[in-house]
Structure formats: structure tokens, C-alpha cells
Structure 1
Amino acid sequence: MRHRSSRLLRATGAMAALAMLATACTGNDPASQEANTGPRAVSENDDPGKEVVIGFSGPEADHGWLAAINSTAVAEGKKYEDVTLRVAEGTNDPNMQISHIETFINDGVDAIVLLPTDGAALTQVATQAMEAGIPVVNVDREFSSEFAARTTILGDNYGMGVSAGNYACSLVEENNLGGDAVVAEIAGTDSLPLTQDRSDGFKEALQQCGQNVDHRVAADFTVESGEKAASNLLQAVAEIDIIWNHDDDQGVGVKAAFESADRDEFAFLGGAGSKNAMRWIQAGEMEATVLYPPTQAADGIRLARLLAQDKGMSDLVQREVPRRIVLDAPVVTQENVEQYLSLGFES
């Protein structure tokens, strides 16, 4: 046994933590502001403005991260006394979601926040909303046309891989593993571009410290598939130094496989930022996880409010809401986990 994950805790990601705290939730509700203990820019944007109606359509909550996307969006809308949030039923059916957006258009809402079941399939109806003068905020899954959204807010899948790879490199260096390090990867659904982006980022970051992905298996973002993929990996490889699992929901199954095999000689890294993962980090059962913010739709609600009220972003010299925003992918470790725990989602 070369090392245990509980002995490999590192203080990386602190600066990213400060950046995340600087943009923590604020609103008109005093209770929400009490929960925000980090530094915050105060501007007239926080004051009640013109009353607006925002339509929100998200996916079916069949995954912890997706459930958090929906719940944080609803919670954000409730913080503003000048916002009426109309929430469509979550769905994985593009046709049903198209119907929801058509209803929003017919009702004349002031803005729409949309995490599409399928970006290409929802492009036409989103474009119709834009042509009707309703700004659309596209979340996470991009449309196939620039004309379908006023602004797009995304997590950073490639950046997740880079963050995980950089952290793995720090473990290699600090534990003097050199070229003998055995690095494994448990990916998500291989056919998805987001999985490919995460893998590309991980691979390319590892190359900066002379490492490679020695063993790679793919799961399907579910507990069952995670357990199966991890079991296959452990059966095939006798000793591993570092394992990066792309998704903390499938990580429940991955960790179950580790326990069944009685294997813990490796540093276990996760992805997305579930509360399970953060509790494991606190208990010394997991090295770190990389955030894929479940607050993207909540940020979308904020941006939609600004757009509907003809406001800009107070912290920019050019105040207009940007056309595209990519959120950071910080690493959560035992040293900074308390700062991120409120952003975690239940698997």
C-alpha cells in the first residue's frame, strides 16, 4: 500500500473558493443575505426593481445534480420580491419542453431560463422567443444557433478535467511517485461531449507532469453503472495510486465497489460536488472532488432578472450582461470543504 487517501489531503483550490464566495447568492430576502458570509459587491441591482415574470424550464430531476439545478433555480426566484417565477414541469421529452416554451411565449413572460433536454431540438422554439422580444438564458446544454439565446451560462467540463488532472499532478509530486504513478479514470457516458471534454482535460493536464491515464473505464452516470465499472477496474488492476471518477452520483456505486473489494490504497477524486462526496472528504474517505456547479440555473434566474429589468452587471466596466459565461471548476478538499458544503447536492 503506497498511501491512503486520508493521508493525501492538500490545500489546493483555496483561491477558487474565495472567487466562488465572492459570487455567492444574494437577493432581496434578508434571510438569504444572512447566509452569505463571503464578500459581496453591493449595487443598485440588489434593490427591488420593475416587477417581471420569468419562465423556467428544466429537466426531469432523475439525477442528484439535475434535481439541484431545478431546486436552486426555484429558490433563487423566491429571493426577489420583484420576480414572479413560472416553473414548467421537469421533463426529458423535448416535445413537451417545446410546448412549455410556447406557453411562455403566448403568455408574454419577460424572460425565459431554459436548460434544454436537447439543445438542438429546443433551438427553434428558443429562437421564436427571442424574435418575440423575450430574452432567453440558455443553461448548460447549448443551442445550435447563436440567435436562440441572449446569454448562455455553462459549467466547465474541460476545466473539470484540467482541475482533476492538476490536482492529481500535485499528489504525484508531493508523494514522490514520479513516473511510477498508476492513474485510473472512471468516466461518465462516453458518447456525450461533456464526458469527452472532461477526459480530454484530465489527460492533457496529466501530461504537464509527465503522467498518463493508465487505465480507463466508462460508466453511465448512475449508481449501478458506477459500481460495475469500478468493480471491473479493480479486478483488472492490482494496485492504483489515483482514481478520478467523473460524477459523484455514480460515485455512490464507485465507492461501494471500493468497499466490496476492500481497496483503499489510492487517492479517490470525484466530480460535480455532491454532499455525499463532501461528507466523505470530511471523514477522510475521499481525497477531493471537482465542482460542476448545480447553481447554473439559479445564476440564470439572476441574469434573466437583470435582462428583463434592463439592468447591467455592476462589477463590469462594460455593464451589459455578457453573451457567454463559463463558471469555474474549483477543487474541494478537506481544507476548504466547509466553504462549499452549501453548494453540494444530495445524490
Structure 2
Amino acid sequence: MKTTTQRRVLKAALLAGAGLCIAGAAQAADPMVKACAKDGQFIIGFSQANNAEPYRQHVNDELTAAAKEVPGFTLQIADGAGNVNTQTSQVDNFITQKVDILLISPFEAAPLTPAVKRAMDAGIPVIELDRKTVGDPGKDYTAFIGGDNYKIAMEAGKYTAKTLLPDGGEAAVLEGLPSSTPAVERLNGFKDGVKENAKIQVVAEQAADWVPDKAQTAFAAMLQAHPDIKVLYASNDMMAAGALLAAKGAGKDVKIIGTDGLPGPAGGIEAVARGDWAATFTYPTGAKEAIEMSKKILLDCATSVEPTVTVDTTAITPENAKALAGK
């Protein structure tokens, strides 16, 4: 049996523990940004990997349009120009400006990781679009919004296995910048997808850094070494365009698959509609989702957000390309 003194000590300990729990709960319920307010004025800084890429400009356009719909939001876009040092400097400038939220599409994962950490340490929420830095969403940065690169490429691989090369044959891959996460995920996804057809051989894979002229050169060399290539998977639409030029130059009929599904006369949707490519798979920008998440944090004073938001892809094939091109 406990003495009166022992009971008092136990009661005090329980009360202290309850107090800590209440304090912890209160702390956990704090807004992610202290200055959040329904009628506030907020600056969102976006560090873009490289404005020269058509997909990146498409992201910028959709972000700009979405931000204009929100009173109180000012969007500032910095062009990393495909240079990690430039992009790092621009992120640091945003930190110095004390922007309210940082959006970033890192040109390369590892080199931009310290800059993202500095932003987080400064109390600025960081939402990563399309490409990731090293670490985990919800821990090392606030959230990741983008398509599932591996899944998108796997769908392209399965489409090859079932529809383009049902009787087997040789395929090749043009990879993006190897130090970026989408390049690795898309390469692996396609190679895993075509495994559904054991008669298909991936005979060549080469990085072309997302650039059409490098893709043209690389695919021309592939066709010289492997003249029986029947399908080429390009990890973005720009490289698919370069690959088409290489195939025409070599007098080869190669079924080309792109990734991005960009709109417009030079985009992947039109290329499929014209019959130049066999397919492309859309890579959604995540722009609307990023602005919605920014609203939750800055206007709705959210205490937390989903660490990963995956936006779905659409397969653009000869069956639906003309209808989608008209939209």
C-alpha cells in the first residue's frame, strides 16, 4: 500500500505528464506559418530549374495563372538557367527576402539540398515541384508535388510491351540528366515495364540531358550500332523530337514515345496527332496543386499538409491525340 507521500508524488508526476501532453498537442497544432492570415499579402518565390525548357515554361505559365486567382499572392520566378550555382544563389536570395513560401524544381538533387535546408531552417516552407532534393518530404522539406515518374515510364514500357512490340523486338532509351531524380525514375520505370514481354530487348540507353540536339546525336549513334531498333522511349518530349530527326536521317521507321505531353504546335500531343510519334505520356505540372497548398498554409493557417501529392498522367495515343490537341 502506498503512503500519503507516495500518492502525492505519483499524482504530481501524472499531472506533470498531462501538462506535457497538453503542451505538446498545442505545439503540434500551431500554424505552419505564424504570419498566416485570410487577408494577408504574401510573396511566393519559385526557383525554376531552367526556363529554356518548354516544359518548364509551361509550369511557369500555369503557376502564374493559378497565383493570379488568389488575392494577396505575389509570385516571383527565378530562372536557374540549368546551373546549380545560379539556382543556389537565387534560393539564397529568396531566403534573404524572407519570402513566405519557396517553391523549387531543383536542376539537380544533391547540389540543391543544402539550399533547401537553409530555407527550412529559416522557417520558410519549401514545396518541391516535379524534381526532388535529397531527403524525405514532410521532414527535410515541406512537401513534394508531381507525377510519379517511375509509374509514368512503366506505363510507357507496358504500352510498348503490349501494343507497339507485341511480337518482341529491340528498344532503346534516351535518358534525361542522370543527376536528376526524374531521369533515373523514368529510365528504370520503362525498363521494368517492358519486362512484361520477354521478347523485347532494351539494347541501348544513353543520357541526352533533356536536350533535343544531344538526343539526335545519341540516337543516330544508337541506330548505327543497332539498326534493328523498333521503339525509342525518350524521357521528355524535347528528346523525342531530336530522336525523330535522327530516325528520319537514318531512313528508319522507329516508333517514338515521348514524356510530358505538352500542348501547342511543337508539343508532344500534336506530334502524336500528326503521326510522328507513337505516344507520349503527360507529366502534369502540379502548379494548381502547389498554389492550393500555399493557400492552405498562408491563408487557412494549416497546421500540416500532405507531404506527397501525386498528380495523374494521361496516355496520349493515336486514339485520343487529335481530340486532345484541339483543347
| Fold-level similarity (TM above 0.5) | yes
Does the 8 Å CA contact 1:94/1:118 hold for their aligned counterparts?
Answer: yes
TM-score w.r.t. the length of structure 2 is 0.74
Match of 2:46 among 56, 71, 79: 56
* CA–CA distance in structure 2, aligned partners of residues 100 and 183 of structure 1: 44
* CA–CA distance in structure 1, aligned partners of residues 118 and 323 of structure 2: 41
Residue equivalent to 2:30: none
Q: Which has the higher contact order (CA 8 A, sep 6+)?
A: 1
Residue equivalent to 1:25: none
Match of 2:236 among 243, 247, 265: 247
Matched letter for residue 335 of structure 1: E
* CA–CA distance in structure 2, aligned partners of residues 237 and 244 of structure 1: 15
CA distance 1:334–1:51, change in 2 (3 Å): farther
Residue equivalent to 1:333: 317
* CA–CA distance in structure 1, aligned partners of residues 115 and 222 of structure 2: 43
Alignment deviations for residues 20-42 of structure 1 (CA, whole Å, 9 cap, x no partner): xxxxxxxxxxxxxxxxxxxxxxx
Per the alignment, in what secondary structure is the counterpart of residue 137 of structure 1? strand
Give the deviation of 1:342 after TM superposition.
8.5
* CA–CA distance in structure 2, aligned partners of residues 311 and 240 of structure 1: 54
Give the deviation of 1:153 after TM superposition.
1.5
Residue equivalent to 1:143: 133
* CA–CA distance in structure 1, aligned partners of residues 228 and 85 of structure 2: 48
Alignment deviations for residues 79-122 of structure 1 (CA, whole Å, 9 cap, x no partner): 32231112334443444434433333343332111222333333
CA distance 1:213–1:342, change in 2 (3 Å): farther
Give the deviation of 1:209 after TM superposition.
3.0
Alignment deviations for residues 296-341 of structure 1 (CA, whole Å, 9 cap, x no partner): 34532332222112366xxxxxx95311123333311133335654
CA distance 1:100–1:339, change in 2 (3 Å): farther
Does the 8 Å CA contact 1:52/1:309 hold for their aligned counterparts?
Answer: no
Residue equivalent to 1:27: none
* CA–CA distance in structure 2, aligned partners of residues 50 and 339 of structure 1: 42
* CA–CA distance in structure 1, aligned partners of residues 244 and 183 of structure 2: 20
Per the alignment, in what secondary structure is the counterpart of residue 134 of structure 1? coil
Does the 8 Å CA contact 1:113/1:304 hold for their aligned counterparts?
Answer: no
Does the 8 Å CA contact 2:216/2:239 hold for their aligned counterparts?
Answer: yes
CA distance 1:243–1:105, change in 2 (3 Å): closer
Matched letter for residue 261 of structure 2: G
Residue equivalent to 1:322: 306
Give the deviation of 1:249 after TM superposition.
0.4
CA distance 1:219–1:131, change in 2 (3 Å): closer
Residue equivalent to 1:257: 246
Matched letter for residue 90 of structure 2: H
Per the alignment, in what secondary structure is the counterpart of residue 61 of structure 1? coil
Match of 2:224 among 220, 230, 235: 235
Equivalence map 1:75-94=2 (5 Å): 75-94=65-84
Equivalence map 1:1-347=2 (5 Å): 50-146=40-136, 147-171=139-163, 177-178=166-167, 181-189=168-176, 191-192=178-179, 193-220=181-208, 221-264=210-253, 266-275=254-263, 276-293=267-284, 295-310=285-300, 321-337=305-321, 341=325
Percent identity, aligned pairs only, is 25
Residue equivalent to 2:6: none
In structure 1, list runs of 5 or more residues that go unmatched. Answer: 1-47, 313-318
Alignment deviations for residues 184-213 of structure 1 (CA, whole Å, 9 cap, x no partner): 123224733533322221222222233433
CA distance 1:157–1:306, change in 2 (3 Å): same
Matched letter for residue 268 of structure 2: A
Does the 8 Å CA contact 2:186/2:235 hold for their aligned counterparts?
Answer: yes
Give the deviation of 1:170 after TM superposition.
2.2
CA distance 1:96–1:187, change in 2 (3 Å): closer
Per the alignment, in what secondary structure is the counterpart of residue 213 of structure 1? strand
Q: What is the root-mean-square deviation in Å for CA atoms of aligned residues?
A: 2.9
Alignment deviations for residues 132-161 of structure 1 (CA, whole Å, 9 cap, x no partner): 332111223323244442111233221122
* CA–CA distance in structure 1, aligned partners of residues 326 and 50 of structure 2: 22
Aligned residues: 283
CA distance 1:338–1:113, change in 2 (3 Å): farther
In structure 2, list runs of 5 or more residues that go unmatched. Answer: 1-37
Give the deviation of 1:238 after TM superposition.
4.1
